[in-house]
Chains A and B, each alone.
Chain A
């Protein structure tokens, strides 16, 4: 079984593949697979993000977050989110590990609670995390073999052609863990960049939408979005993640960062700023 991990940030980052004339015959699975295969995959990514939570009245809560992610040779994906702002939550961290055998663990560190990690129930991946509109599932790597990708009728928006795929969980357990019944994916045909994901509940009702904005070509063939917007239509709430800085470098995501010791060290933003100033992999 081939497992291809796709980090959520890479959801909208795909290799610059110009779908040829033969793409008309491509299946949904081939489109998504080609998109991923062509993707210039970077296993070590550091991002500095601004997370903006917007309620139905337009009120905004702004958070500054550092995100560290790496994919190790053994197939284990890890990422750490560290909140730097607001001051009251500075140092709050989330550590998630997903091993190839599907064993997933997530731990939370609350500096004000004391020097210990709190295990989070990892079986509930569909739950919202840290007050945002993203669920753990939506920021976690995804196994494409868990889904059946149906190709729908191609779409053209403002003269840009798109592939339209429907991703259906292969079984009820996957659907239950995901918290949705199906997704509709929209990929640009020119670069196979995924620009929109619609989430449908068990009643077939659209309840969430993830859209990618400010797409930017990086290091040649790869594209990345600098803004991700998750809209929850049921809760009338939105979360916008704006990538302020992105570094593709093993040095920025050393192994020790994904440990309890480092998290409880409560590293302040000033340290990373220094690193960033010295860094070379800025977008």
Chain B
């Protein structure tokens, strides 16, 4: 069944090619539907308990997502500059998406002097004299709600704050809004020292620009690096080109399906082309390496077609199952991120799982198709490079194993302990601003704003009282004041504003600006009467229409999720304590939810890792028909992950939506190496009498493709360091390092473990091409099920003899017994005079059983009448395998004992009759 599936690409080349092309055309129709999502919503956990409250709060008090038009000018408060600013104000107001605009032309001020009070808009229009402009400046700087929020302390910078209403029918709204704003302000830029926009449209537009730039830049770079690595190590143009074709097809399929399904491209998708090119190439490289091995083993001389066909068949026989398994585990690594509640990661998990799976399918169909059609008929590679790599790792492994085994183990344990300790320092971050490099203009502009004005990040502290009109009562308003004092004492947030500030300001101004009166008025009536100075829209962000809910607006510029989450948690607790039992406090904001998603990131990481490890252990247990084998196979994969987490702690790299995926992706990749090694080891142990030599051979044969693929992977990942996204660059650096850790672990630690376990692959058991029914009649297999017989055959050494080969020679010493698995063996016995007695043994027959008990000279000759496959049993190996397969070996031992016992009884019987010694 397996063969039928795996050999489709070889056997039905035209049909396969047509099907591949048809799917490519069909999926490409979905490409125009593909959309890009760089919005913040995808960073918020779908399970965030504050989301419903957030929607309610923003509906009532307005959005916390604001766009700032920042301008700086040394001569800001002059009629000319203010006239230009007014012109900009009106031009911005004209933009259809601007819902609300706050600046010096809309802000309400209240000022009292000599028993008179003036409550008015700071600047109804641009002043016509320098005196009027300076008066407005003084009024602005006098007002504590404007100074620092809208106008810098030196009066040279100001902000126009826009609330933007996105067009729900425009999927590219942010980009359009950014462009419209940019076009508008660019006309005004020459007239001010500094003028720029900052906010969600710009952030999204910049992210999108970087996304496309990265995709255009990183994918070709990855492809070039891959080609260079493959050509350098394998000396094969085919090996370099094939992965590029499979990657291209995989990406078309993936993006097309994403288009149909509505899964958007996001900032993590930047990695997709590079990932597919690099990771997809590993399977192709393994397959092509195997193809070249096939060329050597099945060389049909001049018949190139036959040679190519044999080599392709050899490749598929040896590589199909490992390829399916490695693709499955890698895809599983990516798929496990679907469990994450963060939309950004979920979408990327879907995209990457599709891409890796498609690449696996395409590789299994396309690579044999191409090799069978265009594959070289001889090994074109210069083998010295390959030989050197093999030699180097084999030697290294031998030296460590023989001389420094315990020291090495101790060093590994020590290293892991150190890195585990370092890993405890990892902090989690999910701030969108931290996705960009510190040198990015947007980050610089954000710093500029923060130097002069309060941070543009906002969150709300909403107090909900059970009593109607509670927030007209000074007792309740005092609690807000206390919460604001606590915020100040925390020392991390820039500023908080509430109804209390407006009331205190009004109180001060109605007392001729006496600062002693900058306090909340003491009676409910006075509070209500003071509030009549303000238009309802001024109070709207701070208090509900029924005065049951009040809102404190907090501005900050914290980009570190850890710091923010810690202080928010502290604030939540303190605010609730201050507010009392009759007031419910909510601390909410989109940037809080985005940062709070870090907890989800962390748990999702743990969950994904555990599930992945469990599934891989299960998969490996099934694959190698041993639970112990499944668990053992995980050990070399846990070491690189430990080192990776340790490195994150050591280098202060945060766990973010990019780095959170490294562990699962790295396990998915690292397990590939383990699967390849175990598969090869299985094959080789069947052909070798000594496990240690099988291990050495495994390292020798697998080191080259593993080094090549790991280097290609590491370099491919390292390319991502050039991304303008910090999280992508960090992902690339960590993944590259982890792949190298995994290579080291797989080539040094996996062989050490392999030598201490004996595994049999399920695929080998099921595909064993022997007449098991006939073998089951053998006395050696009595009491064993067909499955156990198959497994027993695979446990022990099997040797192939050609017709005429001598299996055993009289007089030679030997310590093994034989069982014929296929073919016929002629046994010649010289016991009666000089007339030889011949016997023809077929499947299931055993001979040489005396040698099993003790090393004795053989008394018979044995020769292959046809090509023969024999199974060899010897005591030492049986003794060793008893610990790995106790049930089967015990049964076999029981059967051997019975055979030997019967033989002994037979000999004793015969000795009684003729006094001859026993023979083999």
Contacts and interface: CB of A to CB of B under 8 A. Distances in A.
Tell whether A and B belong to one assembly.
Answer: yes
A273 interface: no
Nearest to A88: B528
Given A235-B537, A237-B536, A55 B117 contact: no
A212 interface: no
A113 B529 contact: yes
A130 B530 CA distance: 10
Nearest to B121: A127
Given A113-B526, A176-B124, A179-B124, A120 B117 contact: yes
Interface in A249-280: none
Contacts of A113: 510, 526, 529
Interface string B520-532: 0101111111111
Contact of A205 (B93, B121, B536, B537): B93
A111 B525 CA distance: 8
Interface string A46-68: 00000001010101110000000
B529 A92 contact: yes
B124 A120 contact: no
Interface of A: 53, 55, 57, 59-61, 83, 86, 88-89, 92, 108, 110-113, 116, 118-121, 124, 126-128, 130-133, 172, 176, 179, 201-203, 205, 234-237
Contact of B532 (A130, A201, A237): A130
A265 B115 CA distance: 20
B545 A59 contact: yes
A119 B94 contact: no
B116 A118 contact: yes
Contact of B529 (A60, A61, A110): A110
Nearest to A121: B118
Interface of B: 59-60, 90, 93-94, 115-121, 124-125, 128, 469, 472, 510, 521, 523-537, 540, 544-546
A92 B119 contact: no
B60 A57 contact: yes
Contacts of B533: 131
Given A119-B116, A205-B93, 9 more contacts: A53-B536, A60-B545, A88-B528, A120-B116, A120-B119, A127-B119, A133-B535, A179-B124, A236-B537
A202 B536 contact: no
Contacts, number: 97
B540 A124 contact: no
A203 B90 contact: yes
A124 B527 CA distance: 24
A203 B94 contact: yes
B907 to A, nearest CB: 105
B90 A118 contact: no
Chain B CB count within 10 A is highest, among A57, A110, A201, A237, for A110
18 contacts: A55-B537, A57-B60, A61-B536, A88-B525, A88-B528, A111-B529, A112-B525, A116-B115, A124-B118, A126-B124, A127-B121, A128-B535, A130-B532, A131-B534, A176-B124, A179-B124, A205-B94, A236-B537
Contacts of A110: 526, 529-530
A116 B510 CA distance: 11
Contacts of A172: 128
A55 B94 contact: no
B705 to A, nearest CB: 66
Nearest to A53: B536
A219 B94 CA distance: 46
A89 B536 contact: no
A58 B129 CA distance: 41
B529 A112 contact: yes
Nearest to A54: B536
Given A111-B525, A113-B529, A120 B534 contact: no
Nearest to B546: A59
A131 B472 contact: no
Closest 10 CB pairs of A and B: A121-B118, A88-B528, A59-B545, A119-B116, A112-B526, A112-B525, A203-B90, A235-B537, A110-B529, A124-B120
Given A118-B510, A179-B124, A202-B90, A86 B528 contact: yes
Given A55-B537, A126-B124, A89 B118 contact: no
A260 B540 CA distance: 33
A108 B118 CA distance: 11
Contacts of A201: 90
A124 B124 CA distance: 10
A59 B540 CA distance: 11
Chain A CB count within 10 A is highest, among B119, B510, B525, B545, for B525
Nearest to A131: B532
Contacts of B118: 120-121, 124
A108 B533 CA distance: 10
Contacts of A121: 116-118, 120
Given A120-B117, A120-B118, A237 B93 contact: no
B109 to A, nearest CB: 10
B122 to A, nearest CB: 11
A176 B125 contact: yes
Given A86-B528, A88-B528, A131 B90 contact: no
A172 B132 CA distance: 15
A89 B530 CA distance: 9
A276 B866 CA distance: 128
A107 to B, nearest CB: 9
A89 B535 contact: no
Contacts of B521: 112
Chain B CB count within 10 A is highest, among A89, A121, A124, for A121
A66 to B, nearest CB: 16
A61 B535 CA distance: 12
B536 A131 contact: yes
Given A55-B536, A205-B93, A89 B529 contact: yes
B535 A237 contact: yes
Nearest to B545: A59
Contacts of B525: 88-89, 111-112
Contact of B540 (A55, A132, A176, A202): A55
A20 B536 CA distance: 45
Nearest to A181: B125
Contacts of B93: 203, 205, 234
Nearest to B127: A176
A127 B532 contact: no
A91 to B, nearest CB: 9
Contacts of B121: 127
Chain B CB count within 10 A is highest, among A60, A108, A176, for A108
A61 B546 CA distance: 8
B117 A89 contact: no
Contacts of A202: 90, 125
B87 to A, nearest CB: 9
Contacts of A126: 124
B641 to A, nearest CB: 52
B51 to A, nearest CB: 20
Chain A CB count within 10 A is highest, among B469, B510, B532, for B532
B510 A88 contact: no
B115 A119 contact: yes
A128 B93 CA distance: 20
Contacts of B115: 116, 118-119
A132 B532 CA distance: 9
A57 B544 CA distance: 11
Nearest to A239: B536
A113 B522 CA distance: 10
Contacts of A119: 115-117
B88 to A, nearest CB: 12
A235 B93 CA distance: 12
Contact of A88 (B119, B524, B546): B524
A53 B545 CA distance: 10
A139 to B, nearest CB: 15
Contacts of B526: 110, 112-113
Given A55-B545, A121-B116, A88 B125 contact: no
B528 A89 contact: yes
Given A111-B529, A118-B510, A127 B120 contact: yes
A116 B525 CA distance: 16
A88 B303 CA distance: 105
